[in-house]
Structure 1
């Protein structure tokens, strides 16, 4: 039986990588009076819906997708949450 999953993927720069966009946002926040903001890091949020026979296979496929396309493993970290949204009985 095929299952449908929703993956919520979070991609962030590695801590050692400079984040110029985050620095700009932090500066803007400080100019607006938010002096207590210590650091801002900008990342990406991606949702992917996929069909898989089981959760382990879905996780393995997502890991490959993130590593090969959705994130740059040299400078970015990623993590994802996987939620089964419904079971499918049709052929895909």
Structure 2
């Protein structure tokens, strides 16, 4: 079975997000005054082949923990969609 994993990685709320802070600070410079507290993260999509959904979840979780996310500074969540 093949699955598409959609992974969202964001900095922990209690940590400073310098990219988000810079964007927040500069939005008024382009005439956008109604946005505040921007947080910037990563969106990753990948295809995984596994025997079943539970195995696919385990594979994606391992990839996130060991390579895709820095779990000291970032949190992640993902959803799987079976490819027909």
RMSD (CA atoms)? 0.9
Q: How many residue pairs were aligned?
A: 84
Distance in 1, matches of 2:63 and 2:82, equals: 18
Instruction: Tell me how far apart the structure 2 counterparts of residues 61 and 51 of structure 1 sit (CA, whole Å).
Output: 9
Q: Using the TM superposition, give the Cα deviation of residue 33 of structure 1 relative to its aligned residue in structure 2, in angstroms.
A: 2.3
1:90 corresponds in structure 2 to none
Higher helix fraction (1 or 2): 2
Task: Find the counterpart in structure 1 of residue 32 from structure 2.
Answer: 34
Which structure has the bigger radius of gyration?
A: 1
Shift of 1:67: 0.6
Q: Mark the runs of 5 or more structure 2 residues left unpaired by the alignment.
A: none
When normalised by structure 2's length, the TM-score is 0.94
> What are the equivalent positions in structure 2 for 1:2-81 lying under 5 Å apart?
3-81=1-79
Partners of 2:13 and 2:28 in 1: CA distance: 21
More strand by share: 1
